[in-house]
Amino acid sequence: MLIYDIVVVGGGPAGLAAAIEAKKNGIDNILVIERDRELGGILQQCIHNGFGLHIFKEELTGPEYAEKFINELHELGIEYKLDTIVLDISKDKIVSAINTVDGLVNIQAKAVILAMGCRERTRGALNIAGTRPVGVYNAGMAQRLINMEGYMVGKKVIILGSGDIGLIMARRLVLEGAEVIGVLARGGYAAGLGRNVVQCLDDYNIPLMLRHNIVKINGKDRVESVVVVKTDEKKQAIPGTEEVYECDAVLLSVGLIPENELSNNLGIKLDRNTGGPIVNELMETDTEGIFACGNVLHVHDVVDYVTKESQKAGKAASEYVKNQSRSIGEFIKTKPEKGVKYIVPQKIGTDNLGKTVELFMRVNDIYKESKIIIKLDDTVIRQLKRKHMIPSEMERLVLDSRLLTGKEESVLTIEISSEEE
């Protein structure tokens, strides 16, 4: 059996940042396991710019962002295995992995960092009738095919879902010579960032079709057309509004799911709201010595936040390895209330607090001119004004730790109060 201090599962932005931070905190014996043929994860296919504004103070493309971290990993001499998939992690931190060179290997770790990322929701999760022809792609899959494999997915394309990947792929397709019929949003607003609506759709005159949905895909071998309907306030199809659009490809950008099969098998408790493990402020799961960070924990929209969160996990894992124990302390639980979809971390151990505590949350609807109200039990401890909040933009809140010390067993709630009400 191989023995490592820390095993990091996943070599994307989260895994890289966590491993590097752990190494910098004095842990020499680290192994990163990546199932792809190279490190960098999703960043390698995100060739557009807009990464690294917080951390590097410059606008990088995904591959550039990844390469900076991969270079640092090499410089620090951190070990990694490519083309290797983790099959199982046991409660006593034995990681079973397999590849074509080593066969099946068991690795005893002192701490494990889960950084498996997320995957795309597929057509099967939607109620789209019709045939199953070639030409129906998840937007991220199409992104990989076009940007890395050099394979164009279609000539006349319709995109369902107005999240950032859908918007970015609309522009990418037009630049590569395809016609994009439109980007459909089931709700009354684009799910992605405002800047992406401007620079990906408006710049190229690509229609944003709000309150529309695809209900049927036609085509024998290849996609031939789709049936589009208008949707009502509840995002339900309005009968009689069907329209047929001819196209040869359909892109689905309809959500991301944290990839937690390993965490589940291990018996780690997940948060229904995030789809990821329940963690404390050190990014430690409910299983001692197992940490989680990045999109496996909750789906992020800005990679710099992934990096910072993963650095936290890397540092905490290295402390855990050095001390071989943790000071659990009593926990403050966090609980999303009205208007809030989720909060990470789900619990805050009052023993480990630094100067500030960082909370990440998402709203569940669009809120204009509203307040984020943070309460400890029934007392308001902080109020923050926001001009504009949308579900696709994660909010980062920083609390002074003094507000929380000595408040063990309290419940911290966050709610949104809209002044328009």
Partner 1 sequence: MKKKEMICIVCPIGCHLEVIEDATSESGYIVKGHKCDKGRVYGIKEMINPTRLITSTVIIKGGNLPRLPVRTDKEIPKNKIFDCMKIINEIEVEAPIKMGDILVENILETGSNIVASRSL
Q: Could you list the residues that contact partner 1 (CB under 8 A)?
A: 37-38, 44, 47-50, 53, 59, 61-64, 66-67, 146-150, 175-176, 193-195, 197-199, 203, 301-302, 388, 393
Q: Identify which of residues 193 and 359 has a Cβ nearer to partner 1 in the complex.
A: 193
Give bridge partners of residue 89 from the DSSP assignment. Answer: 95
* Token output for 330: 């009593």
Before 345, cis peptide (omega within 30)?
yes
Q: Identify which of residues 72 and 393 has a Cβ nearer to partner 1 in the complex.
A: 393
Q: Identify which of residues 44 and 285 has a Cβ nearer to partner 1 in the complex.
A: 44
Q: Identify which of residues 203 and 288 has a Cβ nearer to partner 1 in the complex.
A: 203
Q: How far is the CB of 171 from partner 1 (least distance, A)?
A: 10
Q: Identify which of residues 302 and 353 has a Cβ nearer to partner 1 in the complex.
A: 302
Q: How far is the CB of 16 from partner 1 (least distance, A)?
A: 14
Helix pair angle (303-323, 13-24), 10° resolution: 40
Residue 317: burial class (beta carbons within 10 Å; 0-12, 13-18, 19+): buried
Q: Identify which of residues 270 and 389 has a Cβ nearer to partner 1 in the complex.
A: 389
Q: How far is the CB of 209 from partner 1 (least distance, A)?
A: 19
Q: How far is the CB of 69 from partner 1 (least distance, A)?
A: 12
Q: How far is the CB of 396 from partner 1 (least distance, A)?
A: 12
What is the rounded distance in angstroms from the CA atom of residue 70 to the CA atom of residue 60?
Answer: 15
Q: Identify which of residues 366 and 376 has a Cβ nearer to partner 1 in the complex.
A: 366
Q: Identify which of residues 393 and 408 has a Cβ nearer to partner 1 in the complex.
A: 393
* Token output for 346: 């789900």
Q: How far is the CB of 148 from partner 1 (least distance, A)?
A: 5
Q: How far is the CB of 43 from partner 1 (least distance, A)?
A: 10
Q: How far is the CB of 180 from partner 1 (least distance, A)?
A: 15
Q: Interior CA angle at 168 toward 162 and 170, to 5°? A: 75
